[in-house]
A and B are shown apart, each in its own frame.
Chain A
Amino acid sequence: MAVAVEQRREQEARPAARRRVAAKGNFAVAMAVRDVDIDVAAIYPITPQVQIAEKITEYVANEELDAEVIHVESEHSAMSAVVAAAATGARVFTATASQGLEFMHEMLYIASGLRQPVVMALTTRALSAPINIWNDYSDAFGMRDTGWIMIFSENVQEAYDNVVQAYRIAEHPDVLLPVVVTLDGYILSHTVEPLEPLGREEALRFAPKRRYGYRPTLNPDMPMSFGVVGVPAWYHEIKYQQVRAMRESRRVIEETGREFGRRYGRSYGFIEEYMMDDAEVALVSLGATASLVKAAVNRLRKEGVKAGMVKIRVYRPFPAEELVKALENVEAVGTLNRAISYGGVVEDPLFMEVATALALRGIVKPMASFIHGMGGRDIFVRDIVAMYKKLMEHAKAGTSAKRTYFYGVKGHNPDDDQKM
């Protein structure tokens, strides 16, 4: 162990630009958490996030990280503990997935309602029943209205970079909102990819800890009550403050992503456009699924099809302006998601946002929503190519799909979705 620590320290002493390690997503997140020097972590282990908790406790045991790790008995307690710790002024972290996120659901509103800059990693995973430990975005989309800033990662490097940026965003004096950074369960959490970590010095330079007491804190010298009753006379106003903070966060998220690029060469925006300059049909997707869509775009481009992709990186606050700007010139727009909103106008919650953003700006064009890959079902590039072809049919006919197309369902023809 000691030798490994020595080697790692030696490796990380090298200049930032030259340092490159192999890391799975979970370890990348743990490294980011170590590099921003958190004060308190409270994590209840749940697949596929467990390794984040393991690695953080290892860092603390090896004295690579001076933090308090609270061993809690549930996710509900994990979120409660980090909210309270954040209220004392500490820099905090937790991580969860799937049922764990559901179990802490009521506390998610407490974190945002109390305006605590909690940062959480979510290794996205399907929800029970039936029990399933593999990747989809059901858990993430279930927390979309909890008042958290939500950032999706496409690869291991992004997971690391997003966690570092999350602290700078959450703790910004104009924001003070919790931030969740997602990484696809197994697809990113357990996949080893090249990673260029910033290292502690650089990470702390980018996301420095702020002076104690710059925001309201539980402080014996300046007593305050947190979490008191919000009576009908003032609850409405307090919620509106939250709305304004979320709107205000757009500027901070944008600045943070741009500054990150200026310093380290990897810029981040609300969305990422791929082959959109001359695209005629575009799919909107997020998370690691976006990588598959890029592969499909490459294949289609070889066939001469002008396909493009838009990846949503920041889902909350939703980047309506940026998205519309990217999509206004294409002939047809589709969305690909791994989450279901049962009984919705369409069953894809992402589509509803995209369609609303376009419609409110007077843009009407053929649209279609696609769902595939629930509960860790592999999505093949050929499946996405088929979606693009379906989208091109809609572009040609000038009609939208009234219902979500479910691809990859055994014994089901997606066209039948339009008949029911």
Chain B
Amino acid sequence: MTENQDVTRYLGKKYPTKWDEVPIAGIVPWPGNTEELKTHAWRTIKPVIDQEKCIRCRLCWVYCPDSAILEVDEEYVTSKGRRYKVSYKVDYDHCKGCGICAFECPVNAIQMVPEER
């Protein structure tokens, strides 16, 4: 009996285009790939951070349920001359537009604006 006993036959392709390229039983043999899954498709409103108003308190970063607030090493100087060493940005590939960041922001620096295409 000649049998193909190589496990790779079941693992399919990471980006399948046909039914027989999907991993058996829909298993995921590539650990830690959730980041690659773009989960923004169902967003209807998106947060926009006003860098002038933002006081860098980090609360949005703490509360975001999808780790979609990014703390980036980007210096920012406000119009009044205040110098910040970091900035907060939104990862729009993973933000679902829940609005928790805007709700929690103590200085109303985050606006939820409608998505338009």
B42 at the interface (CB under 8 A from A): no
**Measured between alpha carbons, how far is A201 from B19 in the docked complex, in Å?**
40
- B 1-51 contacts with A by CB, 8 A: 3-7, 9-11, 16, 18-20, 22-29, 31
Given contacts A176-B24, A216-B24, A230-B26, contact A224 B31 (CB under 8 A): yes
- For the residues of B in contact with A, the DSSP-based class is loop
Shortest distance between the CB of B34 and any CB in chain A (Å): 10
The answer on a CB contact under 8 Å between B28 and A225 is yes
- A 360-412 contacts with B by CB, 8 A: none
The answer on a CB contact under 8 Å between B31 and A225 is yes
The answer on a CB contact under 8 Å between B20 and A241 is yes
**Measured between alpha carbons, how far is A214 from B9 in the docked complex, in Å?**
10
Interface centre among B20, B26, B29 (most CB of A within 10 A): B26
**Measured between alpha carbons, how far is A174 from B23 in the docked complex, in Å?**
14
**Measured between alpha carbons, how far is A114 from B24 in the docked complex, in Å?**
8
Selected interface stretch from A54-62, A120-128, A232-240, A278-286: A232-240
When distances are taken between beta carbons in the complex, the residues of chain A under 8 Å from B18 are 237
**Measured between alpha carbons, how far is A100 from B4 in the docked complex, in Å?**
37
The answer on a CB contact under 8 Å between A241 and B19 is yes
When distances are taken between beta carbons in the complex, the residues of chain B under 8 Å from A214 are 5-7
**Measured between alpha carbons, how far is A176 from B29 in the docked complex, in Å?**
17
Shortest distance between the CB of B108 and any CB in chain A (Å): 36
Size of the B side of the interface (Cβ < 8 Å), in residues, is: 21
**Measured between alpha carbons, how far is A67 from B7 in the docked complex, in Å?**
25
A222 at the interface (CB under 8 A from B): yes
When distances are taken between beta carbons in the complex, the residues of chain B under 8 Å from A176 are 10, 24
**Interface size range of chain A in the complex:** 20 to 34
The answer on a CB contact under 8 Å between B10 and A237 is no
Shortest distance between the CB of A252 and any CB in chain B (Å): 10
Shortest distance between the CB of A397 and any CB in chain B (Å): 48
Interface centre among B3, B7, B25 (most CB of A within 10 A): B25
Report which of B10, B16, B22, B31 forms a contact with A215, defined as CB distance below 8 A.
Answer: B10
The answer on a CB contact under 8 Å between A226 and B27 is yes
**Measured between alpha carbons, how far is A383 from B29 in the docked complex, in Å?**
57
**Number of cross-chain contacts by CB at 8 Å:** 61
Q: Kindly supply a per-residue 1/0 record for chain A positions 164-195, scoring 1 wherever the CB is within 8 Å of any chain B CB and 0 otherwise.
A: 00000000111010000000000000000000
When distances are taken between beta carbons in the complex, the residues of chain A under 8 Å from B29 are 216, 222, 224
A19 at the interface (CB under 8 A from B): no
**Measured between alpha carbons, how far is A221 from B39 in the docked complex, in Å?**
29
Report which of A172, A210, A228 forms a contact with B26, defined as CB distance below 8 A.
Answer: A228
**Measured between alpha carbons, how far is A223 from B28 in the docked complex, in Å?**
9
Given contacts A234-B22, A238-B22, contact A213 B27 (CB under 8 A): no
The answer on a CB contact under 8 Å between A228 and B4 is no
The residue on A at minimum CB distance from B33 is A225
The answer on a CB contact under 8 Å between A216 and B11 is yes
When distances are taken between beta carbons in the complex, the residues of chain A under 8 Å from B27 are 114, 216, 224-226, 228
The answer on a CB contact under 8 Å between A213 and B7 is yes
The answer on a CB contact under 8 Å between A216 and B16 is no
When distances are taken between beta carbons in the complex, the residues of chain B under 8 Å from A250 are none
When distances are taken between beta carbons in the complex, the residues of chain B under 8 Å from A174 are 3
**Measured between alpha carbons, how far is A238 from B6 in the docked complex, in Å?**
20
The answer on a CB contact under 8 Å between B25 and A173 is no
**Measured between alpha carbons, how far is A115 from B22 in the docked complex, in Å?**
14
Shortest distance between the CB of A383 and any CB in chain B (Å): 45
- Contact surface of A with B, Cβ cutoff 8 Å: 113-115, 172-174, 176, 210-211, 213-216, 222-226, 228, 230, 234-235, 237-238, 240-241
26 contacts between A and B (CB under 8 A): A113-B25, A114-B25, A115-B25, A173-B3, A211-B5, A213-B7, A214-B7, A216-B7, A216-B11, A216-B23, A216-B24, A216-B25, A216-B27, A224-B27, A224-B31, A225-B28, A226-B25, A228-B26, A234-B16, A234-B26, A235-B26, A237-B19, A237-B22, A241-B19, A241-B20, A241-B25
Q: Which are the 7 A-B pairs with shortest beta-carbon distances? A: A237-B19, A225-B28, A223-B31, A115-B25, A224-B29, A214-B5, A238-B26
A113-B25, A173-B4, A237-B19 are known; give 17 further A-B pairs, CB within 8 A: A114-B27, A115-B25, A172-B3, A173-B5, A174-B3, A176-B24, A214-B6, A216-B23, A223-B31, A224-B31, A230-B26, A234-B16, A234-B22, A235-B26, A237-B18, A237-B22, A240-B19
